[in-house]
Amino acid sequence: MPDTKKTFSKVKPGLHPRNKHRERYDFDLLIKDSPDLATYVRLNEYQDQSIDFFDPEAVISLNQALLKTYYHIDFWQIPPGYLCPPIPGRADYIHHVADLLYDPAKITILPGRQIRCLDIGVGASCIYPIIGVQEYGWSFVGTDIDALAIASSRQIIDSNPALKDKVTLRLQTNPNKIFYGIIQPEEFFDVTICNPPFHASQAEALAGSVRKLQNLKRKKITQPILNFGGQKNELWCVGGEEKFVSKMIFESKACSTRCRWFTALISKEKSLHHIYNTLKSVSAIEVKTIPMIQGNKSSRIVAWTFIS
């Protein structure tokens, strides 16, 4: 019988050089630290260890293992139905932001001066603060319009001593505002980060899920399954990422002296034209676009500043 085992590159293409997840998952190592993961690990069609990415519980278990092995997070849980973030991509955002803030030639001598980061939409997972604290020693303020998401992130922070003095949370009580009511007078941040809801409707979000799952399974999918979860405000909003980030840009102008760099993750290339025009209309002094590639998926970070 012919050997059906497929040979894969050891390093995943496109991920940031400092990303701890550039190589294929070492399931033996992960199971050693998190034995419960073994329940979900099986050989795929190429006889490689993997999990069923259609199974939300398997995805959560993998995230718990990755966070324990690579970021020393002993407790991590999210409420049912909330977004379970793919950790390699989230780590890439943090590493690219570090390049924005630091001289890359000197990045090995971090952490140095304390960096303050504002995470817009911290969600129930607290994932960006976890990675930023453990990789670079930054401090975070995380905001969200969802009280249950804030409560979940607070439980994660309270359960992991490394996060307790590094991450604070603020509930945005006005869902139509982003920075207003969050950034306080005389308060300064080095950077803001945001992974905005990029779909314009629930139907668009489900269609995107179908396409993603068809790519995973390489066959036609008729019933959409949000295997990574996600609430309405996490996945879609009226106008999608284009409108959300434009609102963010207009609000950032009003607090232009209280943050060095504003950033947002942009999933759709077609959103860029409108976003660039909006940045021009508010007279941003400098705009940078940082490409991100994860396998077959491409996105980018748009960063802007009003400080010369």
Which pLDDT score, from 0 to 100, does residue 239 have? 60
In a domain, 242, yes or no: yes
Cα dihedral 124→127→129→130 (10° resolution)? 120
Q: State the total domains in the chain.
A: 1
Confidence (pLDDT) at 11: 77
What is the per-residue pLDDT for 199?
40
Q: Which residue range(s) make up the domain with 158? A: 81-305
Cα separation values, 278 from 135, 190, 272, 283, Å: 33, 22, 10, 9
Quick check: is 1 in a domain? Answer: no
- pLDDT number for residue 157: 98
The four Cα atoms 116, 18, 27, 38 give a dihedral, to 10 degrees, of 10
| Burial state string for 13-44 with b = 16 or more CB within 10 A and e = fewer than 16 | ebbbebbbbbeebebeebbeebeebeebbeee
Retrieve residue 22's tokens: 């550039």
How far is residue 271 from each of residues 114, 162, 236, measured CA to CA in Å?
A: 33, 37, 14
Instruction: Assess if residue 212 is contained within a domain.
Output: yes
What is the predicted pLDDT for the residue at 212?
52
> pLDDT at position 106, please?
61
Residue 34 lies in a domain: no
Q: Find, among 135, 180, 176, 171, the residue nearest to 153 by Cα.
A: 171
The answer to whether residue 298 is domain-embedded is yes
Query: Residue 179: which CATH number?
Result: 3.40.50.150
Q: What angle do CA 37, 43, 44 make, to 5 degrees?
A: 115
* 248: CB partners within 8 A, 6+ apart: 120, 178, 179, 194, 196, 262, 264
Q: In this predicted structure, what is the pLDDT of residue 240?
A: 81
Please tell me the predicted confidence (pLDDT) of residue 210: 46
Look up the pTM and report it.
0.86
d(CA 218, CA 46): 14
Would you say residue 43 lies in a domain? Answer: no
289's CB contacts (< 8 A; 6+ apart) are 272, 300, 301, 302, 303
Answer whether 116's CB lies under 8 Å from 260's CB. Answer: no
Residue 121 lies in a domain: yes
* pLDDT at 283 (0 to 100): 98
pLDDT at 114: 83
SS3 call for 306: coil
Yes or no: say if 235 and 197 are a contact pair by the CB < 8 Å rule: yes
Distance from C-alpha of 289 to C-alpha of 272, rounded to nearest angstrom: 10
Torsions phi, psi for 301 (to 5 deg): -100, 130
In a domain, 17, yes or no: no
Low-confidence ranges of the chain (pLDDT < 50): 1-2, 109, 199-201, 203, 205-210, 214, 221, 224, 226-228, 230-232, 234-236
Q: What is the pLDDT of residue 15?
A: 94
**pLDDT at site 198:** 54
